[in-house]
A and B are shown apart, each in its own frame.
Chain A
Amino acid sequence: MDALSALADGFAVAITAQNLFLALIGCFLGTIIGALPGLGPANGVAILIPLAFTLGLPATPALILLSSVYYGAMYGGRISSILLNIPGDEPALMTTLDGYPMARKGLAGEALALSGIASFFGAFFATWGLVFLAPLLVQVALLFGPAEYFALYTMAFATLGGVASKNQAKSAIAAAIGLGIAMIGVDHQTGVPRLTFGIVEFYDGVSFLVAIVGLFAISEVFLFLEGHSAGTLGEKVTFGRITAPLAMIRQSLAAMSRSTVLGFLAGVLPGAGASLGSFIAYTMEKRISNKENTFGHGDPRGVAAPEAGNNAAAGGALVPMLALGVPGSGTTAVLLAMLLTLNITPGPLLFQSNPDVVWGLIAALFIANFMLLAMNIPLVSLFVWVLMVPPRFLMPAVAMISFVGIYGISGSTFDLMVMIAFGVGGYFLRKLDVPLVPVILGVLLGNEMEKNLRRALTISDGDPAILWGSWLAIAIWTIAIVGFVAPIVFGRFVRPRIPRTPRVERADTD
């Protein structure tokens, strides 16, 4: 029961006035970010990172703030799904299918309350999963050498491309672009500049934050500009009291439990994330429970399942990020970028050398969950007015905050130019259906991946056989290959068949 005593220490770290306040702010901002269509968890967290730096926050409070935003966004997405039939972010997409019909039937209050409870249920048990699974994974990771790490990074890209993407080739393109960008700068091992084209600013490499804010936030502005469909909020749905009858909760309990397990597993898988969690949860639940053809017409279980699923996936995605340093989703990749910028490398060593960071974060997530439950059921009307802000006023604010954040870190016009370039690149990649998460993952992990490859080959004096020289490495390679190939061969059913609505491509990934 080491995990439990470590968790108790974590609560001692988390329960300080500052950390509780940051968790509260994070939950509040996160719910708003989730609720606003066009501002999802990944770009929401990305534009808030500079804020965390500005405040001079150390790692633990910064991580508490931003993870609360992440959890909060998972709660908030459902508000606009239910009330407006527009997903507030991509993981909330499945919630529109039964949530909006419920609202049309005059059950908006019930749908909001039930989905809030389901969100809490999923997130609460997934955080327990994190408590027990992360230390186990750390035990395995302690056996890893450079060859295993190289295989692990490859696996992250392979499963990301295989499971989460519509087109494996485009996912590979995205990964290669990201890795290529990571190569810019002075080579860490030999000190020679690579791909810098003689530009001094490139010697340090491309900053993660510049790349992320550009790819996610700035490209979003371009997508809105092109669409010009600003501010069509549809008919306003009214709702009375926000409570769910006990019978409805009891009816949905089984759905929540199944979805929590599925969502958590989808989150743990490197690269899959919350969108996949809610998708799998909804489709499974529909297969099991749709006996009277009520799904799609406002079945409460169809609201509970995806919400439990995506919140559970958010907790699950933190497992590989903390234990292995390999993020399980787009937003955890952004969190990883923040940790790396603070010179903290997640992985087994983090659990040994900085247990306060890990366990303080986990304890804070438990606390944040209760705050979110309070904000999202009794106080949900606070957030509904936020939906009235039309994108034509919101997007300029997002762009300006992005510029302020990046400029605040470095004070460099050059970084702003690079950010704009990433924004333009991100726009074209998104239009061409090339996923952005592998690009981010490539930029983040590229140097570590190369470092481990070269270390492995230095150990073996150049013999590549070391890369598959242990049973652990072979196991990882097998998962990587199966994860990439299996979905191509037989498994169009694992892949989200997301209905193509114009709003969807705007919602960023989780």
Chain B
Amino acid sequence: MSDRLLGVVCLALAGFLIWRSTLVELSFIVDPLGPKAFPIIIGGVLGVAGLYPLLKPDPRPAWPGARGFVEIAIAIVVMVAYAWLLPELGFVLVTAVAASILAWRLGSNPVYAIVAGVSIAIAIYVIFHLILGLSLARGPWGF
């Protein structure tokens, strides 16, 4: 079933790719092939290759249970929030919080997770910023 779904997604993606490619506006510079043809060829390959898992699927992969997906969803939310808040609140605070949450969700005891998160943030700050001079996001506090 998973593989059939993959096939359907590939076909849809192929159709989308070809459709969007036909919409590309041509400029006054022209070459024999033009900017549309290659993406359309790729769409064709994707469509044909997508037929195979649709018609002849592999055995179902080992999907995680609902719990596993919730864990992944939490991680995605944490990462997206991290990316948004990084320029606002500065590197050290946001990284410490995000790393703690990830360590906790990966099975650490909460106290150790916070210790690990704070240590990771400080270690990266010291190595990458203070020693190597990489510019990390500055928050209102300057770090």
Contact = CB atoms under 8 A, between A and B. Distances in A.
Given A228-B106, A404-B124, A433-B61, A55 B132 contact: yes
Given A173-B50, A187-B35, A179 B132 contact: no
Interface string A160-190: 0000000101101101110110010001011
A408 B136 contact: yes
Interface stretch (A13-21, A80-88, A245-253, A391-399): A391-399
Nearest to A434: B6
A2 interface: no
Nearest to B133: A54
Interface in B108-123: 108, 116-117, 120-121, 123
Nearest to A193: B24
A175 B45 CA distance: 9
A187 B39 CA distance: 11
Contacts of B123: 397
A31 to B, nearest CB: 19
Interface stretch (A130-138, A199-207, A326-334, A453-461): A453-461
Contact of A396 (B6, B52, B99): B99
A173 B121 contact: no
A189 B31 contact: yes
A183 B31 CA distance: 17
Nearest to A415: B83
B103 A396 contact: yes
A51 B3 CA distance: 38
A400 B32 contact: no
B106 A391 contact: yes
B54 to A, nearest CB: 10
A416 B121 contact: no
B123 to A, nearest CB: 8
Would you call the interface of chain A mostly helix, strand, loop, or mixed? helix
B125 to A, nearest CB: 9
B122 to A, nearest CB: 11
B93 interface: no
B31 A190 contact: yes
Contacts of B25: 192
B39 A183 contact: yes
A225 B106 contact: yes
A395 B106 contact: yes
A431 B17 contact: no
Given A396-B103, A396-B106, A189 B35 contact: yes
A55 B75 CA distance: 30
Contacts of A149: none
Interface residues of B, number: 73
B126 interface: no
A50 B128 CA distance: 10
A225 B63 CA distance: 12
Nearest to A408: B134
Contacts of B140: none
Contacts of A427: 72
Contacts of A265: none
Contacts of A177: 13, 46
A179 B91 CA distance: 34
Contacts of A397: 99, 120, 123-124
B79 interface: yes
Nearest to B125: A404
A1 interface: no
A366 interface: no
Interface string A229-266: 01100000000000000000000000000000000000
A392 B49 contact: no
A462 B106 CA distance: 56
A453 B38 contact: yes
A472 interface: no
A462 B37 CA distance: 12
Contact of A173 (B2, B46, B84): B46
Given A173-B46, A225-B68, A417 B80 contact: yes
B33 A453 contact: yes
B72 to A, nearest CB: 5
Contacts of B100: 396
Nearest to B105: A225
A350 interface: no
A189 B27 CA distance: 10
Contact of A222 (B39, B75, B91): B75
Contacts of A433: 58, 61
Interface of A: 50-51, 54-55, 167, 169-170, 172-173, 175-177, 179-180, 183, 187, 189-195, 218, 221-222, 224-228, 230-231, 391-393, 395-397, 399-401, 403-404, 407-408, 411, 413, 416-417, 420, 423-424, 427, 431-434, 449-450, 453-454, 457-458, 461-462, 502
Given A225-B68, A393-B120, 7 more contacts: A180-B46, A190-B26, A391-B106, A392-B106, A393-B108, A404-B136, A432-B61
